[in-house]
A and B are shown apart, each in its own frame.
Chain A
Amino acid sequence: MPTDTETIESLANREYKWGFVTDIEQDTLPKGLSEDIVRRISKLKNEPEFMLEWRLKAYRHWLTMTEPKWPNVKYPQIDFQDMIYYAAPKPKKQLASMDEVDPELLRTYEKLGVPIEEQKIFAGVAVDAVFDSVSVATTFKAKLAEKGIIFCSFSEAVQNHPELIKKYLGSVVPYSDNFYATLNSAVFSDGSFCYVPKGVRCPMELSTYFRINARDTGQFERTLIIADEGAYVSYLEGCTAPMRDENQLHAAVVELVALGDAQIKYSTVQNWYPGDKNGKGGIYNFVTKRGKCLGANSRISWTQVETGSSITWKYPSVILQGDNSIGEFYSVALANNYQQADTGTKMIHIGRNTRSTIVSKGISAGHGQNTYRGLVKVLKAATNARNYTQCDSLLLGDKCGAHTFPYIEVRNTSSQAEHEASTSKIGEDQLFYCKQRGIALEDAVNMIINGFCKEVFKELPMEFAVEAQKLLGVSLEGSVG
């Protein structure tokens, strides 16, 4: 019988199963970044003048910025000139139906289990699939249109709904926000756009699948979701990438706007290629995600399960501007092998009676380094604001690290901020109890980890919750007992 340690060490060795490369013809721009590239991207996308100007403003600002160095992650210098900023699957013509989508591409999504094809429509999920930053297909469009919901690729939205783009693009994450968001603003090629009109409850879960396929490309997509007064939308996001020895950059921006009484639920299962056992390759996932509770009684909730990427560096945030608005952040972040994660959230309380909840679960295994970094800021006007933060870390193995860096700033007397954090390994008494009841060590560990993450999983939509649980099991296989 293997010892506990052996079992623990043998649990995470399963290979990344989404690591295939799709052989598909790509339209790419040459490597490197310049004003010319920015202009060419804009031209390729046939964008109106205001978009080009916005991109150029961002690009010029980006030139004045330096890469941030404060996160608790280590990686070699990124050469921003040695990267392709635009890669689109060929042929690039208007797609009228699913039949026109390259079958090779469809097979890719089939492998990913994305219900993109007509036959899978019964799954009841409207999907916008983004392949190397270009949106390739959007299902269920007609059905959503009946309700007045706009769900399409970002480029389409720029063409068909420029007034909405003009109004909301950059309203949550301005082009000058941070190094990677600014880079994204200059070069983003596509993404998803969603607008839910007043009083409409989106009848199905909306979903985007992102995939990086081409070598040496960075993926820069941009998502903008607007829930008008009293609207509700639940949005799912999933990500994969092929296995490559080089590191690839993913610098996305997600902006959420919730008007009065609106509610947005944004769930992510991120499973980018994490690199191999020795930390070679993998995705740098440097993403800016932010939501704004603009109107009173609005609510934005982020749920994320982060198992992939060699480096994850993101802080889905909520600006609680409307009175009585609510921000939530539920996260499970896993760092195995040589993965590094510096993730957390920012809750900015501006309106009165605003509430925020943060539940963060970090799991570190192998040589993984997992950092929670979160800001809770209660401004003076935010009377009766309330925050509750809980950060728990689980350590599996003696080479990994778990770090918690909360920042709590309170500026009035009627508000309360609470923060609790704990770090420990799986209790030997718990393991002993399970084994004594005849549960194999591996199952016992899985059970304990699932229990550890339960508070977050229960926030996920059903099909994602099942997937997340499996993903966690797979990602940890071999590393845990």
Chain B
Amino acid sequence: MTVLAVEKPERTRSLDRFMPQPHQAAMQVPAWLAALRQAAAERFLQAGFPTIHDEEWRLTNVAPLVERSYGSCKRQEALATAREPAVVAALKAVDLSDANAVRLVLINGNFIPELSSAAPAGVTVRGFGEAIKAGEPALRNLLGKLALPEHHGFVALNAAAFDDGLFIDVAPGSTPSQPLHIVALTHHVAPHDGVLAHPRLLLNLGHHAKLTVLTSWVGGGASPSLTNPVMEAFIGQAAALELVKVVSINDGDSHIASDYVQLADAANLRSFVLNTGGAVVRNNLSTVLDGPAAEATLNGLSLSRGCQHVDNHTLLDHAREHCPSHELYKSILADQASGVFKGRILVRPGAQKTDSKQTSKAILLSDEATMNSQPQLEIYADDVKCTHGSTTGPLNDEQLFYLRSRGLDATRAHAFLTYAFAADAINRISHEAIRAAINQRVVERLHEVAPG
């Protein structure tokens, strides 16, 4: 028998393997979603993954990540995985029940209600499959509105290939006291290939609502896995969202996240990201201040060692007038770790009275470590106040001397100053219990990064 195959260009053929097979499409999708996925798939096959020749990806090479072969993971398998001792241990390690948090578990992008707690009053939490079945109007109105496939290949691929995820809707005026704790685990069972997961999150806060969400990205296995999450968050008028994200995946795994937040009038976003794990971690965070007097605070802390590469890309899009924004990203780099910070502040025409301040600071603990910092201001309005600052260097000798003269030994003095450097960012988390948990995690991690 002869098999006739249509000759496809090399690149398309190699990208094809990332597309879900027809029989895999477990989710029954309505026409609008099918169209959205189709468009994203076409875009992905055409554009492919970003390369170091793209200005935005110049410093983060994803080629080694996307050349590997990965397996995918269906809901049933995810459920089975959940019983693995390693997974049980991982879930326990990030337990936040002390903080009275509502735990929501995602395994390889699949929502596992069996392991999750019930949502507090005023908050609707659904897996995507369920949300689609229920015909949530918000889903159709909001999904893919901020994360456009044109942005880059990973966003397109997520839209084309995501199986499940979380849809969180907070009713107008609801201010649940319990924080949501999303535990997103990427895990595979040896000896199979690592998993490529495409978790999708959609958050919608009604007007005057208030919510705190902590997302813990954990897990891994013997073979390298890759997680490609996309989150879209819509913060309604005068609503407030605090987003805390912790990436503490295994050192062999990678994480390429694309998060989008849109703020309406007088809305407030407070975001914090802690990066401790992973081979290649890239956090894209695009925030659009889409209503007057909206306020955004973006903070981050990276503690890297070994050959880790952490890249924080942020965009603060000041689309409307009277919006303040604050940004502080800190990096502590040891061994051969490399760090990237690229923060772009865009002030659109008419966004008068913008007050934006951006700071990026890095401490290099080893001569092998590198830091690339690119704070950017792009301003098209005149009545604005925008500043940015960036420093990269060793610990301050004078400060070390001061501590030494007070009787602290060199190791203690180092640890003291390194922690103080990190604490500056941690203290900007407003949720007390989460702040304490993050602080704890950082202290533990600092012992690994900067022994002493």
Nearest CB of chain A from residue B396's CB, rounded to whole Å: 10
Quick one: which of A375-398 are within 8 Å of B by CB? 380, 393, 395-398
Q: Is B46 an interface residue (CB 8 A)?
A: no
User: In the complex, A70 Cα to B350 Cα: how many Å?
Assistant: 26
Binds B, one of A53-61, A100-108, A274-282, A408-416: A408-416
Min CB gap A379→B, angstroms:
10
Are B391 and A425 touching (Cβ within 8 A)?
A: no
Known: A407-B374, A409-B371. A419 touches B391 (CB 8 A): yes
Interface residues of B in 383-410 (CB under 8 A from A): 383-394
Partner of A422, one of B352, B362, B380, B386: B386
B319 CB, min distance to chain A CBs, angstroms? 15
Residues of A within 8 A of B439 (CB): none
Contacts of A421-450 to chain B: CB distance below 8 A: 421-425
Question: Counting chain A CB atoms within 10 Å of each CB, which of B55, B350, B391, B392 scores highest?
Answer: B392
**Count of chain B residues with a beta carbon within 8 Å of a chain A beta carbon:** 35
Interface residues on A, range: 35 or more
Q: Do B373 and A403 have beta carbons less than 8 Å apart?
A: no
Residue of A nearest to B363 (CB): A413
Query: Which of A395, A406, A417 makes the CB contact (< 8 A) with B374?
Result: A406
The listed residue (A399, A409, A423, A424) touching B370 by CB distance below 8 A is A409
- Report the nearest B residue to A72, measured CB to CB: B378
Given that A408-B373, A412-B364, A412-B367 are contacting pairs, would A421 and B379 also be in contact in the complex, using a CB cutoff of 8 Å? no
Is B384 a contact of A418 with CB atoms below 8 Å?
Answer: no
Q: How far is the CB of A159 from chain B (nearest CB, A)?
A: 43
B380 adjacent to A408 (CB under 8 Å): no
Whether the Cβ atoms of B392 and A408 lie closer than 8 Å is yes
Contact (A423, B390) CB under 8 Å given A402-B379, A409-B372: no
The answer on a CB contact under 8 Å between A423 and B375 is no
Q: Is the CB of A424 within 8 A of B392?
A: no
CB within 8 Å of B: which A51-74 residues: 70, 72
Give the chain A neighbours of B378 by CB distance below 8 A: 72, 401, 403
B interface: dominant SS: strand
Q: Is A404 an interface residue (CB 8 A)?
A: yes
Q: How many Å lie between the Cα of A416 and that of B396 in the bound state?
A: 10
A-B contact count (CB 8 A): 115
User: What 1/0 flags go to B348-377 for Cβ under 8 Å of A?
Assistant: 011010000000001011110111111111
Task: Judge whether A425 and B373 touch: CB under 8 Å.
Answer: no
Contacts of B448 in A (CB 8 A): none
Q: Is the CB of B371 within 8 A of A398?
A: no
A38 part of interface (Cβ distance < 8 Å): no
Q: A402-B377, A413-B366, A413-B367 are in contact. Are A396 and B382 (CB under 8 A)?
A: yes
Partner of A380, one of B55, B367, B380: B367
**Which residues of chain B are within 8 angstroms of A395 by Cβ–Cβ distance?**
379, 381-382, 384
A419 touches B372 (CB 8 A): no
B392:A393 contact, CB within 8 angstroms:
no
Report the minimal beta-carbon distance from A231 to chain B, rounded to whole angstroms: 34
B379-A423 in contact (CB<8A): yes
Contact residues in B for A396 (Cβ distance below 8 Å): 382
Which of B364, B374, B382, B386 has its CB near the most chain A CB atoms (within 10 A)?
Answer: B382
Residues of chain A contacted by B390 (CB below 8 angstroms): 406, 408, 417-419
The interface residues of chain A lying within 8 Å CB-to-CB of B393 are: 410, 413, 415-417
- B 84-96 to A, binary, CB cutoff 8 A, 1 in contact else 0: 0000000000000
Closest CB pairs A-B (n = 10): A416-B393, A395-B382, A404-B377, A419-B390, A410-B392, A408-B373, A423-B386, A422-B387, A403-B378, A401-B380
Listed in ascending order, the chain B residues whose CB lies under 8 Å from chain A are 55, 349-350, 352, 362, 364-367, 369-394
Task: List 17 other contacts, CB 8 Å, given A420-B387, A421-B387, A421-B388.
Answer: A70-B55, A399-B349, A401-B379, A402-B377, A403-B379, A407-B374, A409-B373, A411-B367, A411-B370, A413-B365, A416-B391, A417-B390, A417-B393, A419-B373, A420-B388, A421-B389, A425-B382
